[in-house]
Amino acid sequence: MVLASGSPRRLDILRAHGINPDVLVPDVDESDVCAPDGSPLAPEQLVMTLARRKAWAVWQQLAVSTPLMVLAADTIVYKPGVGVLGKPLDRTDAIRMLELLRNTSHQVFTGVALLSWPSTSEHDSTSPSEIVLYDLSTVHFGDYTLADIEDFLLRDPPYDKAGSYAAQGMWAAHITRIDGDRENVIGLPWQAIASYLC
């Protein structure tokens, strides 16, 4: 297996379940994803589209001559009425996001694309089989102060994390409940993909 992601959290999840993939980081522009009419995609379509792009970008780097699977994923934090909360631009942006999420719930979408060869299709044995799916978890935050946020930013900087937090890090103390797969919130929905990998 090749993991098409530079995320150490996705790699950790796979290793925790007994899979130790090679890693290739895809070179994909994530800024121009929209519907054919130019409107924003729904969150589930956005993550699936980006995961698929990442998987194919890595697939095209490989000289496929042996059985192979490429796994790519994309995770976003989405708050209805606000929209997608990506990786924070800076400290001020991280504070803004975490203040928006205080005492509320939000959704975490992860899209996954799996390309595998030899193809399982009887009609095309030269191209990989493709599976694209998404998973959704709802995360509930409790109350916290600006001082809590500033302490977190100092001790566990979240600048590479969508929504400015990690479910497995220091900020987990402020998560009151997760409805759905916790590993989906971390970055890879194991429950949704396990049957394809094992």
Residue pLDDT, tens place only, 83-99: 999 899 999 999 999 99
At residue 133 the predicted structure's pLDDT band, cuts being 50, 70 and 90, is very high
Residue partners of 193: CB distance under 8 A and separation at least 6: 71, 112, 114, 133
Residue with tokens 């992601």: 5
The mean of the pLDDT values for the chain is 91
Nearest to 164 by CA among 103, 82, 100: 100
Predicted TM-score of the model (pTM) = 0.90
74 is catalytic: yes
The two structure tokens encoding residue 187: 């970055």
- Judge whether residue 57 has pLDDT over 70: yes
Catalytic hit among 74, 135, 148, 160: 74
Q: What is the pLDDT of residue 156?
A: 93
More confident residue, 168 or 70: 70
Q: What is the Cα–Cα distance from 15 to 27, expressed in whole angstroms?
A: 23
| Cα distance between the two ends of the chain | 12
Residue 123 has pLDDT above 60, yes or no: no
Residue ranges with strand state E in the chain: 2-3, 22-23, 68-79, 83-85, 105-117, 129-141, 175-179
Residues 57-66, mean pLDDT to the nearest whole number = 82
Q: What is the mean pLDDT of residues 161-169?
A: 91
| Average pLDDT rounded to a whole number, residues 49-72 | 89
Residues, the chain, total?
198
Both structure tokens of 106: 């939000």
Region 103-114: mean pLDDT is 97
The predicted structure's pLDDT at residue 36? 61
Predicted pLDDT at 116: 92
* Residue 29: per-residue pLDDT: 75
Residue 166 to residue 62: CA distance in whole angstroms: 32
Strand bridging mode 22-23 / 2-3: parallel
Q: What is the pLDDT of residues 20-38, one digit of tens each?
A: 999 999 988 767 676 666 6
Judged against a pLDDT cut of 80, whether residue 141 lies above it is answered with yes
* pLDDT, greater one: 180 or 41: 180
Phi and psi at residue 171, to the nearest 5°: -70, -10
Name the residue type at position 41.
L
Question: Which domains are delineated in the chain?
Answer: 2-197 (3.90.950.10)
Q: Are strands 129-141 and 175-179 parallel, antiparallel or unpaired?
A: antiparallel
